[in-house]
Amino acid sequence: MFKKTLALSLTSLFCLPALAQSGIELYGSVDASFQYGKEMGNQTAGIDGGGIGDSFLGLRGEEALGAGLKAVFVLEQGFDIDVGKSCCINETDSNANSGSDLFTQQAYVGLKGAFGQIALGRQHAPGHLSELYDALPDMAVSPQKRLAELANLTIVSEDLARWNNAIGYTGEFETLGVSAIYSAGNLETNQAHGVSRTDDDKYGLGLYYENGPIKVGAIYHAVKYKAQYDGVWNKTPAGENETQKEWLLGATYDFGFATLAGSWQQGRDVLGASGFDVHLWQVGLIIPVVGEDTLNLAYGQAKLDGGNAIMGDGGRVKPKSLGVAYLHPLSKRTTVYAAYTWVDHDDLRWDQASALGQDDNGHAGDSKVGDTNLFYLGLNHQF
């Protein structure tokens, strides 16, 4: 046993320099928190991840090819810290492919130079950078993240903004950044509201400006949908073959004593359902407190409007959300935090929530979705 352990240790020692010499970097984040309260009216308590960031393990590297050109790659695997299992890929994307999900966040290879970077594989769409204009960036308590995910908007710093089968471009030119992507799509079995929807093509474009204390950005996404039979209905429901079109305008300004952040976004024909439109705005502050500590807070509201295939009766609901987080860095890489999120789902019914992809957990379809009130106490470490 001692010899086996010694051999493994020596192998590890030799592998680490090899990684360094080949330009390969191991990096990632581990986030865990104790959460207590109610999620959509359902009582919950326990350990979970993603409080102020995803838990994932990544490998990235580059090789100089000459004349300023480099080959690059990124491989990122998300995981659930509470159970140690891989996670965080859209289930419908997962069902579209055989085999196990190995790199659920990003997996791409590309070329980089003075022109920017062109990459092939699973990668971030421009909407992932919506977090630049969020006072609670990529945090579970972010109103923008909560409400956008509820409404199935893809301009969000989450899995819906990671696209498969994609060719992507990113470039940075002094104060201006550009991001563009095209995805062939492979969502083939999204069962929702009795209909099998498929996504066909996706494309997106983002423009980002940063100069001193100000950041401004504009993002556009389009996702083509096709409705098809699932063997239950004898005809395709009308108006579920539309293209989901989204845009976002966002900005931040650092006043020194606080940073103001906010965004406005809109989605039309969401999930390919004709007439189902979503409007979402949010505004927040990042306030320095003591040392490196910050108090981050934001408020947002959405309007989910029309679309008989989703809302059933073409109704309208206006969910709203508040998020607060106190961050105390113990070092440059380790942060302890306390956070709280509240979501009022307005008059959203469980049959409507189910059509949006939420698990109804046995609730009657005509009953109202309860509020979310969740407290977090956690630790985040980045490496």
Task: Tell me, yes or no, whether 15 lies in a domain.
Answer: no
Task: Tell me, yes or no, whether 288 lies in a domain.
Answer: yes
Q: Residue 47 region, left (φ>0) first, then alpha (ψ -120 to 50), else beta?
A: beta
pLDDT at 101: 66
Task: Tell me, yes or no, whether 219 lies in a domain.
Answer: yes
Task: Tell me, yes or no, whether 2 lies in a domain.
Answer: no
SS3 147: helix
Distances (CA, A) of 114 to 54, 72, 205, 314, 318: 31, 14, 20, 50, 46
Task: Tell me, yes or no, whether 1 lies in a domain.
Answer: no
Task: Tell me, yes or no, whether 240 lies in a domain.
Answer: yes
pLDDT at 186: 60
Task: Tell me, yes or no, whether 9 lies in a domain.
Answer: no
pLDDT at 235: 36
pLDDT at 375: 97
pLDDT at 89: 59
From first to last of its 383 residues, the chain has per-residue pLDDT tens of 434 443 444 344 444 454 544 579 999 999 999 999 999 999 999 999 889 988 999 999 999 999 999 999 999 998 888 887 777 655 344 444 444 567 889 999 999 999 999 999 999 999 999 999 999 999 999 999 999 999 999 999 988 899 999 999 999 999 999 999 999 866 544 444 444 455 568 999 999 999 999 999 999 999 988 765 444 433 334 456 789 999 999 999 999 999 999 999 999 999 888 889 999 999 999 999 999 999 999 999 999 998 777 887 768 999 999 999 999 999 999 999 999 999 999 999 998 888 888 888 888 888 999 999 999 999 999 99
Task: Tell me, yes or no, whether 306 lies in a domain.
Answer: yes
Which distant-in-sequence residues (6+ apart) come within 8 Å of 271 by Cβ?
A: 152, 192, 197, 225, 240, 244, 309, 310, 356
Read off the CATH number of the domain in which 206 is found. Answer: 2.40.160.10
Find the domain containing 209 and state its range. 33-382
* Interatomic CA distance for residues 251 and 300, integer angstroms: 15
**359: how many CB neighbours lie within 10 A of its CB?**
11
SS3 267: strand
**How many domains does the chain divide into?**
1
* Interatomic CA distance for residues 311 and 348, integer angstroms: 9
